[in-house]
């Protein structure tokens, strides 16, 4: 298996040009910043100039002195100062403007990723820069056995299939897997007529009894001393929040030692896209259709992970496939917690077929759902309480997310305002649970009623348009 490398990712939509990354880099490198944020072609947008650590680096090819080389271990294009003859051919060979001559001293400077903990990423206040460790995941799990056959019959772009394969690749063979009726068994994992698509023990529980059946499996194995088996569910939202709720709630209350993963595609997609208790307000579904009188679902979604927090489950987390490294971290903690108590992982899973999202836009929908706070990513343990694993501050408007999803195509301004208000309300509640009282609301609470200034509000960002290499 080839090695994949971690990298610094840049999201221009989140960058406001504040320049903190450049300051941080300059401080760490005690000189000129290796990263440059520059005004982009689109008005008000910014772009980044930073070494991509290319797989076929042109700078290395043009270097006549052998001073530049691709490091196979960490993927970084290394610069050897003692070999460099300062010809600067490399700076003209790079298409990204990412290797340059230092205005101070004139020698070559380029990003070395600070040994895996880049200062620029830590300094970015808007999360426009992210340390993408997906390469590490590939290196850790890429050669692990896929627990499903290659030909599962999921729809093109199915996010649930992606979740199934990753989760079970991580967990491996020493497991018992429940997949209650829905897309997950329906795509062939449990199988038809004696054939199965799964390599671990797998079964259809009833739609209504997943957590209970698993609890019985676990109790017996614990009793006979086989305590290392991961006893787990990959369940849809319908069987979790609706008719199977009693079993989930009961198992959580009793602290049954199981790993319950809810793959939330916001409805009964396998049976033809009917609404569930997890379907968000406004959604078109086949039972909340759009017509002259009704315009999609008229109720808000049940927030199952927060209900699990109220059960004080041993571990509760939300995750998104747009952030796989985070998903894997949470999966590790969820597995560990399942040997001690009820462990609940809620993974949001856009359904290209049922949501009317193009297959190649599913991950983008995942990402926008998080960036708009429509989906919040957090984790909870009774000991540590609730904490955000991805900041809900500076969200994009929820309409940016909604317009990528076909099932929201009909939404009018009032409906969008309703969703935005509910998203804000949800985040405020989660922040209170996380012990984060926002500066604005704290100040508001402290200020006299007639105060016209919102003291403590975040000042508008500075625009460092003059920052250039």
Partner 1 sequence: MSQAAALSRDSRTLVIDGNEAAAWGAALSRPDVVAVYPITPQSSLVEYLAKFIAEGKMDAELMDVEGEHSVLSVLHGACLAGGRTYSATSAQGLAYMFEPYFRTPGLRLPMVVSLVTRDSVTPCCVWGGQQDAMTVKEVGWIQMYCETQQEICDSIPIAYKVAEHADVMLPVNVCHDGNYLSYGVARVDLPEQEVVDAFLGEKNVNWHACLDPERPMAVDPLTGGAGGAGPSMFVRYRKGQCAGMSAALDVIVAAHEDWGRRTGRYWSPLIEEYRMEDAEVALVTIGSMTGAAKDAVDEARLDGRRVGLVKIKTFRPFPAKAIAAALSKVKAIGVVDRAVNFGWNCGPVFQEVLAALYALPVRVPLVSFIGGLAGADITPEHFARSIADTIRLAAGEQVSSPVWLNEFDK
The contacts of residue 393 (CB under 8 Å, 6+ apart) are: none
Residue 308 CB, shortest distance to partner 1, in Å, is 15
Residue 243 CB, shortest distance to partner 1, in Å, is 10
Q: Dump the DSSP string for 343-367.
A: EEEEEE---HHHHT--GGGHHHHHH
When asked if residue 173 is in the footprint of partner 1 (CB under 8 A), the reply is yes
Q: Dump the DSSP string for 406-448.
A: GGGTT--HHHHHHHHHHHHHHHHHHHHHTT---HHHHHHHHS-
Per the CB < 8 A criterion, the answer to whether 330 and 389 are in contact is yes
Residue 221 CB, shortest distance to partner 1, in Å, is 6
Residue 193 CB, shortest distance to partner 1, in Å, is 5
89, 229, 396, 447: residue in contact with partner 1 (rule CB under 8 A): 229
Residue 247 CB, shortest distance to partner 1, in Å, is 5
Residue 205 CB, shortest distance to partner 1, in Å, is 7
Q: Is 30 helix (H, G, I), strand (E, B) or coil?
A: coil
Q: Which two tokens stand for residue 373?
A: 């706070």
70, 219, 333, 394: residue in contact with partner 1 (rule CB under 8 A): 219
The span of 92-100, 171-179, 289-297, 381-389 binding partner 1 (CB under 8 A) equals 171-179
Please state, in angstroms and rounded to a whole number, the distance separating the CA atoms of residues 319 and 233: 16
On the 0-12 / 13-18 / 19+ scale of CB atoms within 10 A, 66 is exposed
62, 88, 206, 396: residue in contact with partner 1 (rule CB under 8 A): 206
32, 74, 136, 249: residue in contact with partner 1 (rule CB under 8 A): 249
Please state, in angstroms and rounded to a whole number, the distance separating the CA atoms of residues 203 and 213: 10
When asked if residue 195 is in the footprint of partner 1 (CB under 8 A), the reply is yes
Q: Is 49 helix (H, G, I), strand (E, B) or coil?
A: strand
Helix or strand run (H / E) with residue 166: helix 159-171
Per the CB < 8 A criterion, the answer to whether 391 and 436 are in contact is no
When asked if residue 220 is in the footprint of partner 1 (CB under 8 A), the reply is yes
213, 235, 370, 427: residue in contact with partner 1 (rule CB under 8 A): 213
When asked if residue 151 is in the footprint of partner 1 (CB under 8 A), the reply is no
Residue whose CB is less far from partner 1, 129 or 251: 251
Phi, psi of 241 (to 5 degrees): -95, -20
Residue 248 CB, shortest distance to partner 1, in Å, is 10
Residue whose CB is less far from partner 1, 141 or 203: 203
Compute the C-alpha angle 172/227/380, nearest 5°. 75
When asked if residue 196 is in the footprint of partner 1 (CB under 8 A), the reply is yes
When asked if residue 215 is in the footprint of partner 1 (CB under 8 A), the reply is yes
When asked if residue 202 is in the footprint of partner 1 (CB under 8 A), the reply is yes
When asked if residue 234 is in the footprint of partner 1 (CB under 8 A), the reply is no
Please state, in angstroms and rounded to a whole number, the distance separating the CA atoms of residues 40 and 38: 6
Work out the number of other CB atoms within 10 angstroms of the CB of residue 314.
Answer: 25
The span of 102-110, 198-206, 364-372, 401-409 binding partner 1 (CB under 8 A) equals 198-206
The closest alpha carbon to 114, from 56, 34, 59, 10, belongs to 34
103, 105, 106, 216: residue in contact with partner 1 (rule CB under 8 A): 216
Residue 100 CB, shortest distance to partner 1, in Å, is 56
Residue whose CB is less far from partner 1, 76 or 200: 200
Write out the residues near partner 1 by the rule CB under 8 A. 173-176, 185, 190-196, 198-206, 208-209, 212-224, 229, 246-247, 249-250, 253-254
């Amino acid at each position: 298996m080839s090695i994949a490398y971690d990298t610094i990712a840049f999201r221009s939509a989140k960058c406001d040009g504040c320049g903190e990354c450049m300051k941080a880099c300059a401080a760490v490198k005690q000189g000129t910043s290796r990263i440059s944020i520059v005004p982009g072609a689109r008005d008000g947008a910014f772009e980044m100039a930073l070494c991509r650590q290319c797989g076929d680096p042109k700078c290395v090819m043009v270097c006549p002195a052998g001073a530049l080389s691709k490091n196979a271990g960490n993927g970084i294009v290394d610069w050897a100062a003692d070999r460099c003859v300062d010809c600067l051919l490399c700076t003209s060979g790079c298409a990204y403007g990412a290797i340059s001559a230092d205005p101070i001293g004139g020698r070559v400077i380029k990003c070395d990723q600070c040994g895996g903990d880049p200062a620029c990423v830590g300094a970015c206040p808007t999360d426009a820069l992210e340390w993408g460790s997906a390469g590490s995941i590939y290196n850790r799990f890429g050669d692990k056995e896929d627990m499903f056959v290659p030909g599962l019959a999921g729809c093109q772009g199915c996010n649930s299939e992606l979740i199934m394969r990753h989760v079970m690749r991580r967990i491996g063979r020493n497991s018992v897997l429940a997949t209650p009726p829905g897309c997950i068994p329906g795509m062939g994992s449990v199988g038809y007529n004696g054939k199965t698509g799964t390599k671990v023990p797998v079964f259809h529980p009833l739609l209504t009894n997943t957590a209970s059946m698993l609890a019985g499996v676990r109790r017996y194995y614990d009793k006979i001393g086989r305590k290392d088996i991961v006893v787990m569910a990959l369940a849809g939202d319908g069987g979790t929040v609706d008719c199977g709720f009693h079993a989930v709630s009961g198992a959580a209350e009793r602290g049954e030692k199981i790993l319950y993963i809810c793959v939330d595609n916001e409805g009964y997609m396998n049976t033809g896209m009917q609404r569930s208790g997890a379907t968000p307000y406004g959604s078109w579904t086949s039972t909340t259709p759009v017509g002259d009188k009704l315009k999609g679902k008229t109720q808000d979604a049940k927030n199952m992970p927060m209900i699990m927090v109220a059960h004080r489950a041993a571990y509760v987390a939300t995750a998104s496939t747009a952030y796989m490294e985070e998903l894997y971290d949470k999966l590790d903690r969820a597995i560990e917690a399942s040997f001690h108590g009820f462990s609940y992982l809620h993974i949001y899973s856009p359904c290209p077929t049922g949501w009317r999202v193009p297959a190649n836009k599913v991950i983008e929908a995942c990402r926008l759902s998080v960036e708009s706070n429509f989906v919040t990513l957090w984790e909870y343990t009774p000991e540590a309480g609730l904490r955000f694993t991805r900041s809900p501050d500076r969200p994009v408007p929820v309409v940016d997310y909604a317009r990528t999803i076909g099932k929201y195509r009909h939404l009018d301004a009032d409906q969008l305002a309703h969703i935005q208000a509910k998203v804000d309300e949800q985040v405020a509640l989660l922040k209170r649970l996380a012990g984060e009282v926002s500066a604005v609301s704290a100040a508001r609470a402290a200020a006299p009623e007639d105060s016209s200034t919102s003291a403590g509000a975040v000042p508008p960002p500075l625009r460092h348009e003059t920052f250039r290499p």
